[in-house]
Amino acid sequence: MAEQNDAIAQYTLGMNFYLGEQGFLLDKVKGIEWITKAAENGLDNAQYSLGDFYSKGENVKKDHRQAAIWFWKSALQGHAEAIYRLGLQYFHGDGINMDYIKSYAWLSLITNRDTRAINLVNDISQKLTAEQIAEAGKIASKIRSEL
C-alpha cells in the first residue's frame, strides 16, 4: 500500500523504520524517505513530523525555514501541535519573520486545549495594541474558516 501512494501506509512504514519498531530494522534514512512521501501526499502527522525533524536537526540538516513550511502545511489541516509550533516560530522568528500578530492568531486557535498556547497568547497580548489584537482575531477567523 505504501508503494501505491497510501499516505497512512507510507507514514506507518516510515515510522517503523525510523524507530526500528514492529520487527523493522532501525533505518532513520529510509524512515525519513517514507515519512517525506507521506508528507508530500498530504498527511498532517507526517508533515508535522518532518517539521519537527527539521526544527531539531534530527537526522536531517537543521532548517527552521523547512520546519515552518511543514508545520504550516500540517497546521492548515488542524494539527494542534503543528499550530503551536508554527505560532512559536512566528513568536521567535525561527525560519520566518518574527510576527507577534500572526503568532497570536495561530496560537489563539488552540487556546481551548493547550495551556502553553494560553500562556504565550497572554504574553503576546502585552506586546500588542488593541488594534493589533483585533487584526490577529481577523486572521485567526480566516484561518479557522479554512480548517
Residue with cell 507577534: 100
For residue 102, being part of any structural domain is answered with: yes
For residue 109, being part of any structural domain is answered with: yes
CATH value at residue 89: 1.25.40.10
Torsion, Cα 43 47 49 50, to 10 degrees, reads: 140
- CA-based Rg of the chain, rounded to a whole angstrom? 17
Burial (CB count <10 Å: 0-12, 13-18, 19+), residue 111: middle
> pLDDT tens digits for 21-36?
888 899 999 999 999 9
Boundaries of domain holding 142: 42-146
For residue 13, being part of any structural domain is answered with: no
Please state the pTM of the whole predicted model.
0.91
Cα 77 to Cα 74: distance, rounded to the nearest angstrom:
5
> pLDDT tens digits for 75-99?
999 999 999 999 999 999 999 999 9
For residue 15, being part of any structural domain is answered with: no
For residue 108, being part of any structural domain is answered with: yes
For residue 11, being part of any structural domain is answered with: no
Domains in the chain: how many in total?
Answer: 1
For residue 10, being part of any structural domain is answered with: no
